[in-house]
Structures are given as structure tokens and as C-alpha cells.
């Protein structure tokens, strides 16, 4: 059992039953039952979006924790962390380095973990051009940091104009605003044309799409060079629709590929914390109180948030 400290919330994290919401939670161990080796009391640990995976099914044995056949997601049919104490399986919590404060660790337990796992799936050679769609979002800004600062890639970030400063601060070499794309002539200044021009004419080695908008997937696939990889991260909302540019010929003649990446595994979580402890990555976040949740969700819905929101759970709820 761990007392909860700051918690992180993202859009649509609304459970179907009356249980405590949210995941991505650092805390400290206060009570343990010695069944398996467990963290010592008062040791900092984190609960991830995947609150537990069985570790024995075929996906788990292949390192695909997010595809676990016995998956438990924090806040969905499994109590989340908007509470002072929460239960978590000792074998699946992530140790938090002393150099990483709890408010910094919280966004990394989902956004950072997702960003690193996505980067690993790009298979892009070091110093390659990389496109990040939704670069100023909670996951996107961490993809930019990991790509530029840990992998040495040259990054083209795409998002609304209001997020340019954040995206460049996170390591992007170039920035393309959505307003610039949407406001130009129909046959000019398209995302594909602009990305190819910035990347020397060939296109990017990989594109990580962190938004669920279908148009982002359509354009990003066309931005790839030969042997390029499109990494699917953004969740498509509403009625599902296929990527319009994903014809067989684009894969055949350009040797492109598409790969999905929902979340990382336990090893990825340890690596993300190590990057944070070394100062290589640092999530952009604001801290808010529990009673500000309605306002937070509204800003998420309106797309007006930069990075993540860390919610401070009080020691005593009124």
C-alpha cells in the first residue's frame, strides 16, 4: 500500500464505475506483505498506466506489457490514484530515483514511457530527420526531447502556433504550425512539401504521430523517405477510419512501414526514469489541486494545455 502524492490525468480518463480515477502516480511504500521481493517502506515508487501485467502470457514474455492478456489499467475497473492510499502489485511498481521529484516522475509514468517506447520502434539511424505530429502535447513534447537529446535526431515538430516555443525548447530544429498549413493555397505549403524541403528533399526517416486526427496520419505517412517508419501513438476518437494514403504501393515501392505503440514495458519505465535523473529529459507540466479537475478537463477538450497536468492530492479530503 502506498500513500499517493501527485497524480497525472489525461483526457477521457473517466471510468465506467465509481472508482478512484487516474494513473501515473509516484508515492512511497507504507505497508508490505512479504510474498515476493518488495520495495522497502518509504521507498519512492510509481504506478503506471498499466497498473499490472501478468508477466507470464505470450505478450508479456515478448516484452509487450500493453498487450497483456490479463491487463489491468489504473483508473479503468482498477482503482486509480485520486486517493491518499492505493494498492499496487509490488512486482510491477517502478522505483523512482531520488534525483527525480514526485511531480516530475508522475508525467513520465505514462507520457514518458509511451514516448520512449515509440522512439524505439522508429528504427531510425542516429542523426536522422524525425517528424513529430502533436509535438506540443503531453506525449509529443517528450518524444521531441528523447529524439533530440537522447537519440541525436533532427526533429520537425508540428502543432498549433501557440506551442512553438515549447516544441523548440524540447529540442526541435524546425517547427511547422497547423495554421500555416491550413491557411496556405490548396496546392502549396502542404505538410508533405514543407517537411521534404526541410529534410533535404527525401523526407523523414520516421514520423511519430501523437494526435488522433486522421489528417495527421494521412500526411505523415507521405512525409516518410524510403525505408521510413510511421509510429502510431495518437488514439483515434469517434468512428474509426483508415489511413487514406496507406495504399499497398507506398509500402512496396518506398519500403515504408507502419507500427503501433501503445505503451512501454517495465524496462522502458526504468530507462525513462534514468533519463530524467540524468537531466536529459524533463516533462513540461503545471500543478493543480484536485478541485480544479473540471477546468482541467475543459482545457484538455479545447486543446489549450501545454504538456501535462499534475494533480496534488491533499493529505485529507474534505
Domain boundaries, the chain: 2-110+264-312, 113-260
What is the DSSP code string of 171-215? Answer: T-SEEEEHHHHHHS-TTSS-HHHHHHHHTTTS-EEEEEE-S--HH
The answer to whether residues 81 and 129 touch, using CB atoms and an 8 Å cutoff, is: no
pLDDT confidence tier of residue 18, bands split at 50, 70 and 90: very low
pLDDT confidence tier of residue 38, bands split at 50, 70 and 90: low
pLDDT of residue 84: 77
pLDDT of residue 175: 97
The answer to whether residues 20 and 82 touch, using CB atoms and an 8 Å cutoff, is: yes
Length reported for the chain = 318
The answer to whether residues 105 and 276 touch, using CB atoms and an 8 Å cutoff, is: yes
pLDDT confidence tier of residue 223, bands split at 50, 70 and 90: very high
Query: In the CATH hierarchy, which top-level class contains the domain 113-260?
Result: alpha beta
Between 254 and 305, name the one with better pLDDT: 254
Q: What is the mean pLDDT of residues 157-185?
A: 90
The answer to whether residues 122 and 129 touch, using CB atoms and an 8 Å cutoff, is: no
Query: In the CATH hierarchy, which top-level class contains the domain 2-110+264-312?
Result: alpha beta
pLDDT of residue 15: 46
Between 123 and 16, name the one with better pLDDT: 123
Extract the C-alpha cell encoding 281. 529529459
pLDDT of residue 79: 77
pLDDT confidence tier of residue 26, bands split at 50, 70 and 90: low
pTM of the model: 0.84
Side-chain half-sphere of 52: how many Cα atoms within 13 Å?
A: 13
H or E segment and range at residue 232: strand 224-232
Amino acid at each position: 500500500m502506498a500513500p499517493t502524492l501527485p497524480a497525472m490525468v489525461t483526457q477521457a480518463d473517466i471510468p465506467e464505475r465509481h472508482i478512484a480515477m487516474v494513473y501515473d502516480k509516484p508515492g512511497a511504500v507504507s505497508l508490505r506483505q512479504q510474498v515476493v521481493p518488495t520495495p522497502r517502506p518509504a521507498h519512492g515508487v510509481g504506478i503506471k498506466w498499466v497498473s499490472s501485467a501478468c508477466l507470464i502470457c505470450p505478450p508479456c514474455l515478448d516484452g509487450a506489457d500493453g498487450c497483456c492478456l490479463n491487463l489491468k489499467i489504473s483508473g479503468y475497473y482498477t482503482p486509480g490514484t485520486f486517493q491518499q492510499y492505493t494498492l499496487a502489485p509490488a512486482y510491477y511498481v517502478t522505483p523512482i530515483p531520488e534525483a527525480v521529484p514526485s511531480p516530475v516522475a508522475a508525467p513520465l509514468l505514462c507520457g514518458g514511457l509511451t514516448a520512449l517506447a515509440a522512439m524505439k520502434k522508429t528504427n531510425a539511424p542516429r542523426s536522422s530527420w524525425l517528424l513529430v505530429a502533436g509535438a506540443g502535447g503531453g506525449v509529443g513534447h517528450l518524444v521531441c526531447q528523447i529524439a533530440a537529446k537522447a537519440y541525436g535526431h533532427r526533429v520537425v515538430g508540428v502543432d498549433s502556433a501557440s506551442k512553438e516555443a515549447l516544441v523548440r525548447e524540447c529540442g526541435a530544429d524546425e517547427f511547422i504550425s497547423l495554421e500555416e498549413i491550413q491557411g496556405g493555397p490548396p496546392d502549396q505549403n502542404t505538410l508533405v512539401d514543407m517537411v521534404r524541403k526541410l529534410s533535404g528533399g527525401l523526407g523523414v526517416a520516421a514520423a511519430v504521430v501523437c494526435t488522433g486526427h486522421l489528417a495527421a496520419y494521412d500526411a505523415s505517412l507521405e512525409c516518410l523517405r524510403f525505408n521510413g517508419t510511421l509510429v502510431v501513438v495518437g488514439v483515434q476518437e469517434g468512428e474509426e477510419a483508415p489511413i487514406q494514403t496507406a495504399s499497398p504501393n507506398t509500402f512496396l515501392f518506398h519500403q515504408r512501414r507502419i507500427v503501433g505503440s501503445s505503451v512501454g514495458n517495465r524496462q522502458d519505465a526504468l530507462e525513462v526514469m534514468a533519463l530524467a535523473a540524468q537531466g536529459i529529459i524533463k516533462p513540461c507540466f503545471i500543478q493543480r489541486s484536485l478541485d480544479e479537475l473540471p477546468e482541467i478537463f475543459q482545457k484538455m477538450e479545447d486543446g489549450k494545455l501545454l504538456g501535462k497536468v499534475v494533480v496534488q492530492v491533499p493529505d485529507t479530503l474534505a
